[in-house]
Structure 1
Amino acid sequence: MSTDSSRPNVVLILADNLGWGELGCYGGGSLRGATTPRIDKLATEGLLLHNFNVESDCVPTRSALMSGRHPIRTGCRQSVPAGFPQGLTEWERTLAECLKTNEYATAHHGKWHLGDIPGRYPSDRGFDEWFGIPRTTDETQFTSALGYTPEVAELPYVMKGKAGDASENMCVYDLETRRLIDEMLVDRSKEWLTRKVEEKKPFFLYHPLVHLHFPTLPHNKFKGTTGQGDFADSMAEMDYRVGQIIDHIDDLGIRENTVFIFASDNGPEFREPYRGTAGPWSGTYHTAMEGSLRVPFIIRWPGQVPEGKTSNEIVHVTDIFTTILSITGTDLPSDRPIDGLDQTAFFKDSTNTKSPRTGFPFYIKDELRAIKWKDWKLHFVWEPKVNQSTGRLESPYLFNTVRDPKEESDILAFNTWVLQPMMKLKSEFDRSLKYDPAPPDPLKEV
């Protein structure tokens, strides 16, 4: 562990498809069928963001988090099936690889989704060890699906690996294991944290949960506990699992010098019966609506981040890469464009300091769908619900997200001045892409 305040420990928990409106501290909780007392308490111990933004899909968000770069730069534009090129190329520098240069211990316990072949597993990309799933959770349905055989589609496995060694399969990732996986992940993280404290070395623990990704199935100990079905039961379990890690950090005596971040990778699930909610925002992941962009984010850093604060300042997932490196005194890669901005000063004084970020472009795959700037959102393609696109708009739609959170009233005709700063943001990003060209879409190359 680290007791040096300039080299704090970092624990990053990432929920899977947790919508903005699910947790109690975001207006959900009991209204969604399950209270979330542990995460709600965490929110009172640090800073809660109302305007933390991610990408449209699991792979793009995780690549942005690990590289500090928009997916249009890295080629990690979408989730793809096993056996197809996917994940971060060897040229990209991951958060874990950067921290290793600063002598941090690193571990990944959870869902990776950034490469499923030798050379691209977490233990090949800067993590000392890993345990979890290389891809995604809908694969747990394979073995019980009509017509499935391993000869036509790869069996999904829970895997583990250590740096310098080959990663190996542990067990088939089926529906039964789906119910057990988050318990397994927490047990691994607790054991690893205990070891790192004994070694007295600063560490980075990346713990991407599996909940609430569909099929959203709770552990048997939580099944039926809320009376509101599997989704609510899974929320209750997710809250409990986060609490287990919080308690273990406290028991180890490392709370004071540990940066603890809880966030989500995407907006809510939209498939019945596992439908989530984005609260006041419209849309789900796989769209450019605010319900896709905005997700929960809480940071606790005792003595550094004031308690009980909330903010509607814009923060983007790429900023987490840059900010963690800044907090730990680790050098940023200097040989490539980094899109993430350092939010350290803002996190430490959100009352008197503004986020350095005013906006960002939002792509789905290789298409610019929207630009977000301050309280404004400009859509170039209108797709309020998944697979319900009306195509590229002749005249873009403009919304003010404070006055019109559900993006219902296009007001571009009355606010064309907003096009100037937004188009400036676009042209600056386009210019940077010219000198850092995007890789080809891997699915188009197969």
Structure 2
Amino acid sequence: MKKPNFIIMLMDNMGYGDAGCFGSLQHRTPNLDHMATEGVKLTSFYSSSGVCTPSRASLMTGCYPRRVNMHVGGSDHECVLFPVNAKGLHPDEKSIATLLREVGYATGIIGKWHLGDQPEFLPTRHGFDSFFGCPYSEDMVPNEQRPGWPLLPLMRDEKVVEAPADRTTLTKRYTEEAQRFIRKNKEQPFFLYLAHAMPGSTDRPFASDGFDGKSANGPYGDAIEELDWSAGEIFRTLQEEGLDENTMVIWTSDNGAVGWMPRQGSNAPLKGWGYTTTEGGQRVPFIARWPGRVAAGAIFDDVATMMDIYPTLAGLAGAEMPADRTIDGHDFMPLLAGDPRAESAYDTRGFFFYYRDQLQAVRAGEWKLYLPLEQKLTNLDGDYSKAKPAVAELYNLRNDIAEQREVAAQHPDVVARLMALADAARAELGDHGFETASQRPAGRVDNPTPRLLGEVIT
């Protein structure tokens, strides 16, 4: 029996309420809406962080960002990796691409990487046969504050082929490259990681001429509607090549929409914005489609996370999970398939919300507890001198998705149980001011160099 193909489509900073099938009344997303009718929609799916680098590290490794020391950037004040950082995902980490390549998969990443721009950390050193995209975020360009940053590099494998990258055409070109990858590898099992740059991290997202100025929500809406077009093109290509029935497609976002002023994206009905540990910061839209294998048209509210994709794909591909390290994710294929016996492992073990190095919240089952903290960090540069005290807040998210009714006083037993889960997480994964033996190191190089047009990496 032929192994299934896998496609992960990951959006950048797209909100929970930005697609029609998740409630948007502004954005036209017919392809995603159709995907939801043919696939399964998860309404309590979480990114492992409110920012890019940690979230993507979890997707690649199946681990909490703190587990692999990718919860912060290259220096104490950086929340994500920046250009020419000495830090990156450790070469010894076994990415999902490495795992799948070992069992015969063609592996490709198209789009945003953001796990290190040094040669040792590039996707081609982490199990991907090919890479076409940018090594970090589309907003990381030279400016008055960062005049020494290199021009935004667009890379093919380990070579910069364009600098600065034309951001207006990234979605279009990434889609066309994805179509070529699918056609090229249609005779063997493949894993395609399509990590779009949009709507992105600037206050004015980019779209190509066919979508620019066409939506009811300005540049942000233009970008969303082009992303929907992209999804439709991927499905069209799968159908044309006869691959539709044997391909699992996952569509989600790396974290919630950012709270720009004036507002652009939407995390409705959730409270909070991207870059935080709020529901709006880390609960993200999720759709999986695989004809005949996932529960078509189903909507499940069980807790699942970005970390679960790793063991799920490994199991479906017949790949052995690494036995020499802890993987935090759980195989959630029974949930996607609609098995009535499926249970979320997080109901008993808890899911933990870290802001940089600080544990700030726990979810287990219907309950989310924001932890009482003497200094709750809310600035991305990690300055604890600005942090203020926070009291415990408990919400029943199944009955109160917008977190309007705080009920800690009414449920001291639930507070105690979730506080105990938080203590166990600290012992395993660490917290502000201390690490544990269960954490693995990030990679580091001594003399980081910029990725420049015309360079030759050896």
Q: Cα RMSD between the aligned structures?
A: 2.4
Matched, 1:61 2:55: yes
Confirm or deny: 8 A CA contact 1:321 1:340 kept in the other structure: yes
- Give the direction of change, closer, same or farther, for the CA distance of 1:440–1:343 in structure 2 (3 Å limit): closer
Distance 1:67 1:427 in 2: 24
Aligned to 1:164: none
Deviation at 1:439, TM superposition (A): 4.1
**Which of the residues 37, 42, 67 maps onto 1:49?**
42
Equivalent residue of 1:139, what SS?
A: coil
Q: 1:169 maps to which residue?
A: 160
On the 8 A contact 2:251/2:287 being kept in 1, the answer is: yes
How many Å separate the matches in 1 of 2:443 and 2:419? Answer: 25
Aligned to 1:339: 328
Output one character per residue of 1:308-364: Cα deviation in whole Å (capped at 9) or x when no partner: 000111001101111111111111111111100111111112555333332311111
Distance change (3 Å), C-alpha of 1:76 and 1:255: same
Once the 2 structures are TM-superposed, how far is the Cα of residue 189 of structure 1 from its aligned partner?
1.1
The answer to whether the 8 Å contact 1:12/1:207 transfers is yes
Q: Tell me, what secondary structure is at the counterpart of 1:256?
A: helix
**Residues 281 and 406, structure 1, Cα contact 8 Å, conserved in 2:** yes
Q: Matches of residues 35-434 of structure 1 in structure 2 within 5 Å?
A: 35-54=28-47, 55-77=49-71, 78-140=79-141, 142=142, 145=143, 149=147, 152-161=148-157, 167-174=158-165, 177-197=166-186, 200-213=187-200, 214=202, 215-273=204-262, 275-358=264-347, 359-380=350-371, 391=387, 393=389, 395-433=391-429, 434=436
Q: How far apart in 2 are the matches of 1:26 and 1:437? A: 36
CA-CA distance at 1:409 after TM superposition: 3.5
Q: What CA distance in whole angstroms lies between the structure 2 residues aligned with 1:116 and 1:441?
A: 12
Identify if the C-alpha distance between structure 1 residues 272 and 171 changes in structure 2 by more than 3 Å, giving closer, same or farther: farther
Offset, 1:291: 0.6
Aligned to 2:451: none
Equivalent AA in structure 1 for residue 199 of structure 2: L
8 Å contact kept, 1:341–1:357: no
Counterpart-to-counterpart distance in 1, 2:58 and 2:69: 11
3-state SS of the aligned residue for 2:314?
helix
CA distance in 2, matches of 1:131, 1:441: 22
Normalising to structure 1: TM-score of the pair? 0.89
Distance in 1 (CA, whole Å) between partners of 2:391 and 2:321 is 39
What's the CA shift for 1:147? 7.8
- CA pair 210-273 structure 1, distance change in 2 beyond 3 A: farther
In structure 1, C-alpha distance between the alignment counterparts of 2:95 and 2:150, rounded to whole Å: 27
Structure 1 unaligned regions, length at least 5: 162-166
* Matched AA of 1:14: L
Contact 1:399–1:411, Cα closer than 8 Å, also in 2: yes
Q: Assess if the C-alpha contact under 8 Å between 2:355 and 2:377 holds in 1.
A: no
Distance 1:89 1:274 in 2: 37
What amino acid does structure 2 have at the position aligned with 1:262? W
SS in 1 for 2:308: helix
How big is the shift at 1:306? 1.9
With structure 2 as the length reference, what TM-score do the two structures score? Answer: 0.87
**Residues of 1 paired with 2:172 and 2:264: CA distance?**
23
* Residue identity matched to 2:411: N
Separation in structure 2 between the aligned mates of residue 160 and residue 83 of structure 1, nearest angstrom: 18
Which sections of structure 2, spanning at least 5 residues, go unmatched?
A: 72-78, 430-435, 449-458
Aligned with 1:23 (options 12, 15, 19): 19
Read off the aligned partner of 2:302 and give its amino acid letter. E
Aligned residues: 423
Letter in 2 for 1:423: M
Local SS of the residue matching 1:413: coil
Change (3 A) 1:115 1:397: same
Separation of aligned partners in 2, 1:391 and 1:105? 47
2:215 counterpart SS class:
coil
SS in 1 for 2:199: coil
Displacement of 1:148 in angstroms is 6.6
The answer as to whether partners of 1:216 and 1:274 remain within 8 angstroms in 2 is no
For residue 61 of structure 1, report the CA deviation from its aligned partner: 0.6
* Letter of the 2:251 counterpart: F
Q: Which has the higher helix share?
A: 1
